Chain A
Amino acid sequence: MCNYSERDRASMGERVALDLDLVKGFRFFDPHIHMVSRTTDDYQAMADAGVVAVIEPAFWVGQPRTGIDTFRDYYSSLIGWERFRASQFGIKHFCTIGLNSREANNEALAEAVMELLPFFIYKEGVVGVGEIGFDDQTAAEEKYYRLQLELAKDARLPVQVHTPHRDKTKGTSRSMDIAQEHGLDPGKVIIDHNTEETVKEVLERGFWAAFTIYPFTKMGNERMVEIVKQYGPERILVNSAADWGISDPLAVPKTAALMVKSGIPKEVIEQVCFKNAVAAFGQSGQLDESMLTESMVIDQGQKFEGNSILRGGQQPRRDAGSIIIS
């Protein structure tokens, strides 16, 4: 979500040149990214930077949908086409399925979406109900948040909770109160988009605390480094939430690189940029570490002589630095 605030270069701190050699050999898991809005260049760059898996939470698409069929097609794309697209770059694509808070405010449509959700949440690779929670913190948002918490409980799935941008601290506490009121185990609830103001309570209450590294409007990664220094790696996750706004699909590897530069131990970085995501969302039964270590099978198939055809899991690489396109 992008709110563009004018900031001059000087206020953005010291510029550190991109050097992903700092994280060579690391594996990353971005547990919140909206790949439907991203290009193949992003997939390629992510794979090159060591991203091996992503979770794509169901979200709104930048403007409100007006019909149930567009919801169904969107959910279908998360378990179909987008999953395939990611696999072409060797990236495992998981998703969470839910009715986002903004669109919960269209109650007639929200009712229809609720009827649709059970068809999707049991699918392979669906690792949670999400992203759900509050935006404006309206009564309708609360109603559908509660209904979806019940759905997650029945399906024994983790919950990925979007916390509001406005009135965040109170909204975050309230999100946790309601989850516990419905009997959800905080250990199966991932509270997203945390800040310095919310992290303490989230961790103390036993929830997972996810941080979104997103330019201008959410966390910057220098702040993230400080948080990991202060709170350690337990139950902390880093994500990009990259979407159709000005955002960065390399936020996780870049943050890891900054952590390396800041002297944070490798085990800690691996925990917040990979392992915690596996542990939190692995509770769905749909994801475990062995799935992420499988090497991509490249089927050379029946090659014709002199004609090497790349198949399954290998995309030809275009030369972005050349004006020649062939």
Chain B
Amino acid sequence: MKDEVDLTNKRDTDAERLANQIVRHVSDEEWGVLTDQINQLANDPQPNTLARVFTAIPRTIRSADKDLRITFDETAPVNSDQLPLLVKDWSLARLVRVWVLMNLPALEQQAYVSLIDRLFKYGEMEELVALYSALPIYHDPAAWKPRCTEGIRSNMAPVRQAIILNNHYPSRFLDEGAWNQLVLKAFFTDEDIPQIIGLKTRNNAALAGALVDYAYELHAAKRNINPFLWVLVAPFLDDRAYRLMEQLIQESEHRSTRKAVAYAFSASSFAPAADFIKENSELTDLLDTADTPWDGWLDQTD
């Protein structure tokens, strides 16, 4: 009965959704092994058993297509305490690993955290990617703040991306300092900024100030500035930011930069910015947001 997923220990419909994806891509035999392992861990989550199962996932699903990448809509958590999980271009091994973690029982907090901490401590790169992707689904969510903050410092791009991009955990749980580091790191490492969740709700004056400093530094070095930076700066425009932006909107050779600054000016209540737009009506075509990364930003809720 491969098509009907019936796990006696399923935690919620989230785990069920992942299971329904996984079952399509593995053999009957592999599926049998996986469900046995899940049930065993749900009943008796021994650290050694978990470590062995977790590490061996790629061997357990050997028949699966290695190039397969899975994307699906956000899972809809049953209880509102739990964050949704966003699956975007994941390998099957990553999905299975997160599913294994979802099925672990909620132990007493210290035991639960140390069970998963040990996986972090010995994780290779792909394991770390899965472990950080799973931040939204761990029990005791607040307990993972230091781990999340630490992961943002990782020098391994895929590991860092697992936290920074398409992950609901950081914006919900990080304090302002750690959140700002996440966003700055994303700019420094050329991440695709709109894939950060919570950019709008967590935007703040200290971050905008740091981004403006960064923009000045890049400008002095004659390096490119990611236009999206100006969208985040917009609500906190001040004289210092305005000086550089005014220069860029007139001189930048990149139309995307001129468009971003125009957009920021139009969204800002800072008087010189509003005046600049009014006085330069020929710039209105720059205000078209179609095909820009900030298209829809005004209506965005997170």
Interface positions of A (Cβ within 8 A of B): 72, 76, 79-81, 83-84, 119-120, 122-125, 285, 301-302, 304-307, 309, 311-312
What separation, in Å, do the CA atoms of A27 and B156 have in the docked complex? 26
Give the interface SS of chain B, mostly helix, strand, loop or mixed. helix
What separation, in Å, do the CA atoms of A302 and B196 have in the docked complex? 14
Contacts of A123 on B, CB cut-off 8 Å?
55, 124, 127
Min Cβ gap B119→A in Å is 10
Q: Would you call B156 and A306 a contact (CB within 8 A)?
A: no
Asked if B9 is at the interface of the complex by the 8 Å CB criterion, the answer is no
User: Which residues, 124 to 173 on B, are CB-close (under 8 Å) to A?
Assistant: 124-128, 155-158
Provided the pairs A305-B256, A309-B190 are in contact, do residues A84 and B158 lie with their beta carbons within 8 angstroms?
yes
Contacts of A83 on B, CB cut-off 8 Å?
124-125
Q: Would you call A124 and B156 a contact (CB within 8 A)?
A: no
Provided the pairs A84-B155, A119-B51 are in contact, do residues A306 and B124 lie with their beta carbons within 8 angstroms?
no
User: Which residues, 244 to 302 on B, are CB-close (under 8 Å) to A?
Assistant: 253-256, 293
Q: Would you call A84 and B293 a contact (CB within 8 A)?
A: no
Contacts of A122 on B, CB cut-off 8 Å?
52, 55-56
What separation, in Å, do the CA atoms of A204 and B287 have in the docked complex? 77
Q: Would you call A84 and B254 a contact (CB within 8 A)?
A: no
Contacts of A81 on B, CB cut-off 8 Å?
155-156
- Name 19 interchain pairs, CB-CB below 8 A, sorted by A: A72-B121, A76-B122, A80-B123, A81-B156, A83-B124, A84-B156, A119-B122, A124-B55, A124-B124, A124-B127, A304-B224, A304-B226, A304-B293, A305-B255, A306-B224, A306-B254, A306-B255, A307-B254, A309-B190
Excluding A84-B158, A306-B253, 15 further A-B contacts by CB distance (< 8 Å) are A76-B122, A76-B123, A79-B124, A80-B125, A84-B125, A84-B155, A84-B157, A119-B122, A120-B122, A122-B56, A123-B127, A304-B254, A305-B254, A305-B255, A311-B190
Asked if B44 is at the interface of the complex by the 8 Å CB criterion, the answer is no
Q: Would you call A307 and B125 a contact (CB within 8 A)?
A: no
Please name the 4 residue pairs, one residue from A and one from B, whose CB atoms are nearest each other, closest first: A79-B124, A84-B156, A306-B254, A307-B224
Min Cβ gap A56→B in Å is 13
Contacts of B17 on A, CB cut-off 8 Å?
none
Asked if B227 is at the interface of the complex by the 8 Å CB criterion, the answer is yes
Contacts of A79 on B, CB cut-off 8 Å?
124-125
What separation, in Å, do the CA atoms of A84 and B161 have in the docked complex? 13
What separation, in Å, do the CA atoms of A125 and B55 have in the docked complex? 11
Contacts of A80 on B, CB cut-off 8 Å?
123-125, 128, 156
Return the chain A residue nearest B62 by Cβ.
A285
Asked if B58 is at the interface of the complex by the 8 Å CB criterion, the answer is yes
Contacts of A309 on B, CB cut-off 8 Å?
190
What separation, in Å, do the CA atoms of A90 and B164 have in the docked complex? 24
Asked if B59 is at the interface of the complex by the 8 Å CB criterion, the answer is yes
What separation, in Å, do the CA atoms of A305 and B55 have in the docked complex? 41
What separation, in Å, do the CA atoms of A120 and B124 have in the docked complex? 9
Contacts of B226 on A, CB cut-off 8 Å?
304, 307
Asked if B6 is at the interface of the complex by the 8 Å CB criterion, the answer is no
Asked if B192 is at the interface of the complex by the 8 Å CB criterion, the answer is yes
Return the chain B residue nearest A309 by Cβ.
B190
Q: Would you call B157 and A124 a contact (CB within 8 A)?
A: no
Return the chain B residue nearest A83 by Cβ.
B125
Contacts of B123 on A, CB cut-off 8 Å?
76, 80
Contacts of B156 on A, CB cut-off 8 Å?
80-81, 84
What separation, in Å, do the CA atoms of A305 and B292 have in the docked complex? 10
What separation, in Å, do the CA atoms of A120 and B55 have in the docked complex? 9
Return the chain B residue nearest A305 by Cβ.
B256
